[in-house]
Amino acid sequence: MAFEFEYSAKNPLYPVSYLKLRAMHSRLEIIWTGQAENQAQGLAQRVEQEMLAMEREFNRFSEKSPLAVLNLKAAMEDVSVGEDLFMALELSEAFRRGTRGYFDIATSTSCGKDMVSYTLNPKSHSVRFNAPEVTLDLGGFAKGFALERVSRMLSDEGVERALLNFGSSSISALGTHPYGEWWAVGVDHTKQHGIVAKEVRLKDSAMSVSGRNYKGEYHIVNPHTGASVAAEELILVEGRSALVCEVLSTALYAAPKTEREAIVSQYDGYRASEILCGDCGSVSIRKIG
Amino acid sequence: MNRKEFLSDCGKIGFAGVTLSLFPWLQSCSDKAKQEVKGEKARIGIIGTGSRGCFHIKHLVQMPNVEVVALCDNYRPHLEDAAQYYPKAKLYDDYRHLLEQRDVEGVIIATPLYLHAPMTLDALSAGKRVFCEKSMGYTLDECLEVYNKRKETNGVLFIGQQRLFDPKYIKAMSMIHEGKIGDVVGVRNYWYRNNNWRRDVPSPELERHINWRLYSEYSRGLMTELACHQLQNGSWALGMLPEQVMGSGHLVHWLKEDKRDVYDCVSAIFTYPNGVNMTFESIISNKHFGMGEQILGTNGTIDLVTGMYYSDEPAPKGSGMHQLIAQIESGVMSNSVFAGTSWAAESSPLAPGVPIMTNVKVVTGESTVGAEADGSRELLEAFIHATITGRQPEKVLEESYYATQFALLADKAMHENQILRLDEKYKIPYTPLK
Ligand SMILES: NC(=O)c1ccc[n+]([C@@H]2O[C@H](COP(=O)([O-])OP(=O)(O)OC[C@H]3O[C@@H](n4cnc5c(N)ncnc54)[C@H](O)[C@@H]3O)[C@@H](O)[C@H]2O)c1
Query: Please, what sign has the CA dihedral across residues A134, A140, A142, A148?
Result: negative
- Residues in B closer than 8 angstroms to A22, CB to CB, are 313, 345
In angstroms, what is the span from residue B73 Cα to ligand 1's centroid?
Answer: 10
Residue B184 predicted with pLDDT over 70: yes
Contact criterion met (CB < 8 Å) for A184 and B333: yes
What is the rounded distance in angstroms from the CA atom of residue B321 to the CA atom of residue B155? 61
Contact criterion met (CB < 8 Å) for B339 and A200: yes
Return the axis-axis angle of helices A83-98 and A242-254, rounded to nearest 10°. 40
User: A-contacting residues of B 321-340, CB under 8 Å?
Assistant: 321-322, 324-325, 327-340
pLDDT band for position B11 (50/70/90)?
very low
Q: What residue ranges do the domains of chain A occupy?
A: 1-56+139-167, 66-137, 190-198+207-289
DSSP string, B78-109: HHHHHHTT-TTSEEESSHHHHHH-TT--EEEE
Q: How far is CA B124 from the centre of its chain?
A: 23
pLDDT of residue B25: 85
DSSP state of A110: -
Q: Would you say how long chain A is, in residues?
A: 289
Could you tell me how many CB contacts below 8 A there are between chain A and chain B? Answer: 134
Nearest ligand 1 atom to the CA of B161 is 1
| Residue of chain A with shortest Cα separation from B322 | A18
Q: Would you say how long chain B is, in residues?
A: 434
User: Over pLDDT 70: what percentage of chain A?
Assistant: 96
Between A116 and B358, the higher pLDDT residue:
A116
Taking residue B412's Cβ as centre, other Cβ atoms within 10 Å add up to: 17
| Burial group, residue A132, by CB count within 10 angstroms (0-12, 13-18, 19+) | exposed
pLDDT band for position B111 (50/70/90)?
very high
Q: Which of A111-120, A250-259, B192-201 has the lowest mean pLDDT?
A: A111-120
Nearest ligand 1 atom to the CA of B212 is 19
Which of A214, A233, A276 best tests the B interface by mutation, with the highest count of B CBs <10 A?
A: A214
Contact criterion met (CB < 8 Å) for A179 and B344: no
What is the rounded distance in angstroms from the CA atom of residue B123 to the CA atom of residue B117? 10
Average pLDDT taken over every residue of chain B? 90
CB-hemisphere CA count at 13 Å for B267? 3
Is residue B134 within 6 Å of ligand 1 at its C-beta?
Answer: yes
pLDDT in tens, A183-212: 999 998 887 777 889 999 999 999 999 988
pLDDT of residue B348: 45
pLDDT of residue A196: 87
Q: CA of A79 to nearest chain B CA: how many angstroms apart?
A: 31
Is residue B112 within 6 Å of ligand 1 at its C-beta?
Answer: yes
pLDDT in tens, B330-385: 888 877 788 887 665 544 444 556 778 767 777 777 887 777 789 999 999 999 99
Q: CA of B175 to nearest chain A CA: how many angstroms apart?
A: 21
Of A8, A22, A168, the CB nearest to B339: A168
Nearest ligand 1 atom to the CA of B162 is 1
Contact criterion met (CB < 8 Å) for B343 and A27: yes
pLDDT of residue A77: 94
Is residue B370 within 6 Å of ligand 1 at its C-beta?
Answer: yes
The angle formed by the CA atoms of residues B46, B50 and B53, to the nearest 5 degrees, is 40
- Residues in A closer than 8 angstroms to B336, CB to CB, are 184
pLDDT band for position A113 (50/70/90)?
low
The protein residue whose alpha carbon is closest to atom 34 in ligand 1 is B73
Q: CA of A268 to nearest chain B CA: how many angstroms apart?
A: 23
pLDDT of residue A156: 95
pLDDT of residue B257: 72
- Residues in A closer than 8 angstroms to B321, CB to CB, are 18, 20, 29-31, 163, 165
Is residue B133 within 6 Å of ligand 1 at its C-beta?
Answer: yes
CB-hemisphere CA count at 13 Å for B274? 13
Is residue B45 within 6 Å of ligand 1 at its C-beta?
Answer: no
Fold agreement between A1-56+139-167 and A190-198+207-289: yes
Is residue B74 within 6 Å of ligand 1 at its C-beta?
Answer: yes
Of A29, A184, A215, the CB nearest to B348: A215
What is the rounded distance in angstroms from the CA atom of residue A221 to the CA atom of residue B123? 73
pLDDT in tens, B374-401: 999 999 999 999 999 999 999 999 999 9
CB-hemisphere CA count at 13 Å for B89? 28
Is residue B48 within 6 Å of ligand 1 at its C-beta?
Answer: yes
What is the mean pLDDT of the segment spanning B246-251?
Answer: 98
Contact criterion met (CB < 8 Å) for B319 and A178: no
Contact criterion met (CB < 8 Å) for A27 and B345: yes
pLDDT band for position B192 (50/70/90)?
very high
Superfamily of structural domain A1-56+139-167: ApbE-like domains (3.10.520.10)
pLDDT of residue B349: 44
State whether residue B343 sits within 8 Å of chain A by CB: yes
Q: Which of A108-117, A137-146, B243-252 has the lowest mean pLDDT?
A: A108-117
State whether residue B203 sits within 8 Å of chain A by CB: no
* In contact, B159 and B397? CB cutoff 8 Å: yes
Of A8, A167, A184, the CB nearest to B343: A167
Tell me chain B's radius of gyration from C-alpha atoms.
24
Average pLDDT taken over every residue of chain A? 90
What is the mean pLDDT of the segment spanning B261-270?
Answer: 97
- Residues in A closer than 8 angstroms to B346, CB to CB, are 25
What is the rounded distance in angstroms from the CA atom of residue B269 to the CA atom of residue B186? 11
pLDDT in tens, A37-91: 999 999 999 999 999 999 888 888 777 889 999 999 999 999 999 998 999 999 9
- Residues in B closer than 8 angstroms to A165, CB to CB, are 319, 321, 337, 339
* In contact, B250 and B222? CB cutoff 8 Å: no
Residue in B111, B230, B291 to alter for ligand 1 test, most ligand atoms within 8 A of Cβ = B111
Contact criterion met (CB < 8 Å) for B331 and A18: no
Residue B16 predicted with pLDDT over 50: no
What is the rounded distance in angstroms from the CA atom of residue B392 to the CA atom of residue B377? 18
- Residues in A closer than 8 angstroms to B329, CB to CB, are 8, 10-11, 16
Between B150 and A225, the higher pLDDT residue:
B150
Query: Please, what sign has the CA dihedral across residues B315, B319, B324, B327?
Result: positive
Residue B13 predicted with pLDDT over 50: no
Residue B235 predicted with pLDDT over 60: yes
What is the rounded distance in angstroms from the CA atom of residue A27 to the CA atom of residue A2? 9
Which of A171, A183, A185, A237 best tests the B interface by mutation, with the highest count of B CBs <10 A?
A: A185
The candidate with the shortest Cα–Cα distance to A161, out of A42, A19, A15, is A15
In angstroms, what is the span from residue B52 Cα to ligand 1's centroid?
Answer: 6
Nearest ligand 1 atom to the CA of B75 is 37
Reported in sequence order, the residue ranges of B77-183 that DSSP labels E, i.e. its strands, are 90-92, 106-109, 129-132, 157-159
Nearest ligand 1 atom to the CA of B210 is 19
DSSP string, B239-273: SS--SEEEEEEE--SGGGTS---S-SEEEEEEE-T
Is residue B51 within 6 Å of ligand 1 at its C-beta?
Answer: yes
Per CATH, which fold does A190-198+207-289 belong to? T-fold (3.10.520)
Give all strands of the β-sheet with A271-277 in edge-to-edge order. Answer: A3-8, A16-23, A26-33, A162-166, A170-174, A206-210, A234-239, A271-277, A283-288
CB-hemisphere CA count at 13 Å for A75? 12
Residue in B46, B72, B73 to alter for ligand 1 test, most ligand atoms within 8 A of Cβ = B73
pLDDT of residue B267: 98
Residue A31 predicted with pLDDT over 70: yes
Which of A31, A232, A235, A253 best tests the B interface by mutation, with the highest count of B CBs <10 A?
A: A31
Is residue B166 within 6 Å of ligand 1 at its C-beta?
Answer: no
Alpha helices in B239-374 (DSSP H): 323-329
What is the rounded distance in angstroms from the CA atom of residue B282 to the CA atom of residue B198? 16
pLDDT in tens, A237-282: 999 999 999 999 999 999 999 999 999 999 999 999 999 998 877 8
Write the CB contacts of A174 (distance below 8 Å, at least 6 apart in sequence).
Answer: A32, A151, A154, A155, A159, A160, A161, A162, A163, A164, A204
> What's the ipTM?
0.85
pLDDT in tens, B115-151: 999 999 999 999 999 999 999 999 999 999 999 999 9
pLDDT band for position B403 (50/70/90)?
very high
What is the mean pLDDT of the segment spanning A101-106?
Answer: 92
Contact criterion met (CB < 8 Å) for A22 and B332: no
